[in-house]
Copies of this chain bind each other. A is one copy, B any other.
Amino acid sequence: MPHVKMSELSPDDLSEIYTFAVQLGKDAGQMLMQAARLRTDDTRASQQQEEHVQKANAVDLVTETDENIEAFIKNQISSKFPTHKFVGEESYSKGSSRQYLIDDAPTWCVDPLDGTVNYIHLFPMFCVSIAFIHKSKPVIGVINAPFLNQFFSSCAGRGAFLNETQPLPLIRNPVPPMPAKAPSGCVFSCEWGKDRKDVPDGNLHRKVESFMNMAAEIGGRGGKGGMVHGVRSLGSATLDLAYVAMGSFDIWWEGGCWEWDVAAGIAILHEAGGLITTANPPENCETSPIDEVKLGSRLYLAIRPAGPSANETGRESQERTVREVWKRVRHLDYSRPGA
């Protein structure tokens, strides 16, 4: 297996990698949950937790749990597939650059703990996220949210699943089209993130202006009011994508997160039938092509799986929704070396 040419990944190769990834996600999720339980059970663990809370204002809070789980995942992968590349959130945090490193080589892209703030506070929306990337495309995704008992997995061409048995999206007989007046009728998921500089026309202001446009009544905001059905913020980009794949969130729009936050979610969303493109509106929202998202772009707009209606294919209703979102959101400013 280590010596196979990854450009010629056979169905058996893919099966072996998928089986391995699923088990890895289960083991890592168990480590995460064990570490969480420790903090609720004994005094020593609670002191540790208090220290974590003290660090709460840090821009990029990194816990020991993060590092331990990433080391475990990295070791497991390098034992099983020594030729594969590894890109992990913790490795990046320690490095000086956040250059985009994923190329055509077979690569694992891992966030050992997505939703770190949630995890610190024991809000259940945290997870481990593992993606296998082949020729620059996420083809296998595993997301384990152990406090929620929710395990998401997918393999290119083989479907996406909740808890290995329920196919995604959950509502599928038939899969509903996007609402006729989307974003009205849609659950809109978005994140406030860590970039909270109070700069006029900075990212925070642009984000909140966009949230307001999506939320306000039809006719409001100079015609931009989208009257979405609900606005949700979970604090986990990975789980946002998992819930878009489930069909629970219709739209997720976000800037600022990284490839390890989204790689597994993108794999699962694709396999479920969702669409993902850039968060930033093009010059012409009506006619611009809707390109596949760039994994390292830090700018994401995801639309749930959608079935056909009398007038449209599912893809057409998704693209219509993308354009309606683009008309209502601001351009965000996130860049990086190498992307």
Using CB atoms and an 8 Å cutoff, list the residues of chain A in contact with chain B: 39-43, 46, 49-50, 53-54, 56-57, 117-118, 120-124, 148-150, 166, 170-174, 176, 179, 181, 184-185, 187, 192, 196-198, 204, 208, 211-212, 215-217, 219-221, 225, 227, 229-235, 243, 246-250
Please state if B235 and A235 are interface contacts (CB–CB under 8 Å).
no
Chain B residues whose C-beta falls within 8 Å of the C-beta of A192 in the assembled complex: 215, 230-231
Nearest chain B CB to A112's CB is how many angstroms away?
Answer: 19
A49 CA / B231 CA spacing, docked (Å): 20
Starting from the known contacts A123-B243, A123-B246, A123-B248, 6 additional A-B residue pairs (CB-CB under 8 Å) come to A43-B173, A53-B185, A121-B230, A121-B248, A124-B148, A124-B150
The 21 listed contacts between A and B (C-beta, < 8 Å) are A39-B171, A40-B166, A43-B174, A46-B174, A46-B176, A49-B171, A53-B179, A53-B185, A56-B229, A57-B229, A117-B230, A120-B229, A121-B248, A123-B232, A123-B249, A124-B150, A192-B231, A196-B216, A198-B217, A198-B219, A198-B221
A56 CA / B183 CA spacing, docked (Å): 11
Listed residue (A50, A121, A171, A176) with the most chain B CB atoms within 10 angstroms of its CB: A121
Please state if A57 and B184 are interface contacts (CB–CB under 8 Å).
yes
Listed residue (A43, A192, A250) with the most chain B CB atoms within 10 angstroms of its CB: A192
Nearest chain B CB to A230's CB is how many angstroms away?
Answer: 4
Please state if B187 and A117 are interface contacts (CB–CB under 8 Å).
yes
Residue of B nearest to A220 (CB): B198
Please state if B122 and A49 are interface contacts (CB–CB under 8 Å).
no
